[in-house]
Each structure stands twice: as C-alpha cells, then as structure tokens.
Amino acid sequence: MGVFILRRVGVMILTALCLTFVVFFLTNLYPALEKLAKTQGNQRMSDEAVVSYLERNGHLQPLLVKYGQWLGVVPGHVHENPETGAITARCATRGMDPSEAPRFCGLLQGDWGFSTVFKDDVSSIIATRLGLTGKLMFWVLVVMVPSALLIGVLAGMREGSRLDRSLSTFSIASTATPEYVSGVILITLLASSAGWKIFKGTATSAADNATLENFLLPVLTISLYGVGYIARMTRASMTEVMTAQYIRTARLKGVSFRNVVLKHALRNALIAPFTVIMLQFPWLLNGVVIVETLFNYKGFGWVLVQAAGNNDISLLLACSVVAVVVVLVTQLISDIGYVFLNPRIQIS
C-alpha cells in the first residue's frame, strides 16, 4: 500500500509539473505577453516600449529559465537599467530595496507571485477565494450527495418499476441540463419579475452573509447537473447488486425486502458511487466557474475567469496548480477508498 501511494504521488507530481509547464508555455507566448504589457502600461504602447517593459520584468528570458524561477529552483530575475542603473528584481516585494531581495523566490519558497489584475499577492487572493468556493462546494455536496444516493437506491432496488422509470427520467433530464441552462431557468422562475420573485438572481452578497435567499439558487444549479449522473451510477450499481446470488438467498430465507435493501444490498451498492462522487470533483470545478460567473459570486471560478481573460500569468498558474491538485488528489482518494471499501481488490 505504501509503495502504491508513493508511486501515485510521484506520478501526480510529474503530471502537475507537465500541466503547469503547458499553462506556462501558453501564457508566455509572445502575443500573450504583448497583451499583458499593454494592459499594464497603456494600450497604445510602441513596440519598443513593450520590449523594454518585458525586458525589465524578465519576460524575455528563455522559457525554461522562467519556469525554473517560478518554481524557485533558478535564481530570480534581476534587471539593471544600463542608463539609470536602477535595479528591478523579481524577488523584491514592494517597498523593498531590490539589492536586498532574496535570490530565490518561487513555489518552493512559498512565494506564488504577484497578481497583475488584482494588485495583490496571489497566495492571499487564492486563499480567500478558495474559502468562498469551499463554502459553495460544501453546500452543493450537502444537497447533491444524499439526494442523488436516495434517488439512485430507490430507482435501482426494483429495476423496471414505475418508480424506477420516473426517477430515471428525472436523472436523464438533469444530466441533459448544463448549469448555464438550469441557472437561467431557475432565475427566471424564482428570481425574476416574470416568475415568483422569492430569491435573488445574484449571489454577490452571499460572500459575507449567505442566506437561503441569495445562496439557494447557485447551490441548486450546480447540484442539479451532478445529481443525475451520480444517481444513474448508483442505480446501475444497485440493480447489479440486487440481482446477486446472496440477495436472492436472503430473500428466500425470508428476510423482509426492507432489510434486504438496507442491510444487505446498500453497503455493497455504495462502493461504485463513492468513486463516482470523488471523480465528480473536477466536473464540479467546471460547474463552479459557470455558476460563479452567472450569479456573480466572487469565488475561485470567478478569479479563474478574470485571470484567464487578462492573461495574469502568476494568478493563472496558481489557479491551475489548485485545479490540478484538486483533480489528482480526488483521483488518489477514490483509488485508495475503493481498496478499503472493496477488500477483494488487491494492489500489487
């Protein structure tokens, strides 16, 4: 088990390095840098001004060197203006004398860089925004997982029954409704002058003070899309368990249907949904981006959109690190959890 986890962590780090390098490469292409220079300086910058800006901030070094600096394994960029002798250093924080700046500053030193859009340290932006998204995600999971499991188990315990068909239709409909569609429909029905105006169509105020009024719709929108998928997986797993030999034995022994479902079938049927729920996290991340944009909730997804739209390199890299870590860690947990839940699987 220990070797397995070590190997997986090794692969994870390799994947994260590859992915961040791809993001790094795409954000450091010359046209993207030019855009960055122009948004930082002014739109009508001359080509020479762009080059000198990029030179001063170390954007024109070889890609691998820059990537190394970002990671913190290569000494940070120091630029000395040949005419004035002014020194700018990548590692100097605001107000610090550039000559006293530390040599290395990167991910390994815990320095995530400086956001050009929000004019703030990336680590503090990511921390606050992730907290807000964490709140959203928590409520999504609270709503989504129990309802999905309930629907799946009820539908799967009697395959082909009326109940099964109604619930399956519901889950198909919910997987066919992406967040930007269900969000629009929910807002129209419950938060517009055309429908009942009970809830709010924006969730901006939910960042400080989440109430049912401003937070229910975003939570519901994300959950709806995920419910169908998890419910279908639970149903498939439940129907499979219900046809197993040991269930038939229990039924013939005279165990009541309720006990068969609750005590014999349920535990085995919930193994597969566990992995599905875990693998659902990357998908939730997408949903979060869409819903936060739609409801103007300023969390992690909103920051990602802002960073990507303005080619804010440090912030975008930090976002992708977070996203990739979330995806890979959930994959790891789902694999390990699967082994614990299903003792028949051996890792060698």
Site residues (vs other proteins, CB under 8 A): 11, 15, 18-19, 23, 26-27, 29-32, 34-35, 158, 161-163, 166, 172-173, 175-178, 180-181, 184-185, 187-188, 191-195, 197, 201, 256-258, 282, 285-286, 289-290, 293-294, 304-305, 308-309, 311, 316, 319-320, 323-324, 327-328
- Contact present, 311 and 27 (Cβ < 8 Å): yes
**Tokens 């080509």 belong to which residue?**
47
Nearer to other proteins, 57 or 293 (CB): 293
**128-131: Cβ within 8 A, 24+ apart:** 129/298, 129/299, 129/300, 129/302, 129/303, 130/299, 130/300, 130/322
Nearer to other proteins, 122 or 324 (CB): 324
Nearer to other proteins, 95 or 254 (CB): 254
- Closest separation in Å from C-beta 102 to other proteins: 30
- Contact present, 119 and 40 (Cβ < 8 Å): no
Nearer to other proteins, 31 or 343 (CB): 31
Nearer to other proteins, 124 or 161 (CB): 161
- Closest separation in Å from C-beta 81 to other proteins: 28
- Closest separation in Å from C-beta 7 to other proteins: 12
- Closest separation in Å from C-beta 206 to other proteins: 16
Residues in the chain: 348
- Contact present, 263 and 210 (Cβ < 8 Å): no
Instruction: Give the pair of three-digit tokens for residue 177.
Output: 């409704």
Nearer to other proteins, 106 or 183 (CB): 183
Q: How many CB atoms lie within 10 A of CB 1?
A: 9
Q: What is the DSSP letter of 29?
A: S
Burial of 249 (0-12, 13-18, 19+ CB in 10 A): exposed
Nearer to other proteins, 39 or 88 (CB): 39
Q: Which residues contact 121 (CB under 8 A, 6 or more apart)?
A: 112, 113, 114, 115
- Closest separation in Å from C-beta 172 to other proteins: 5
d(CA 317, CA 70): 9
- Closest separation in Å from C-beta 291 to other proteins: 11
- Closest separation in Å from C-beta 1 to other proteins: 21
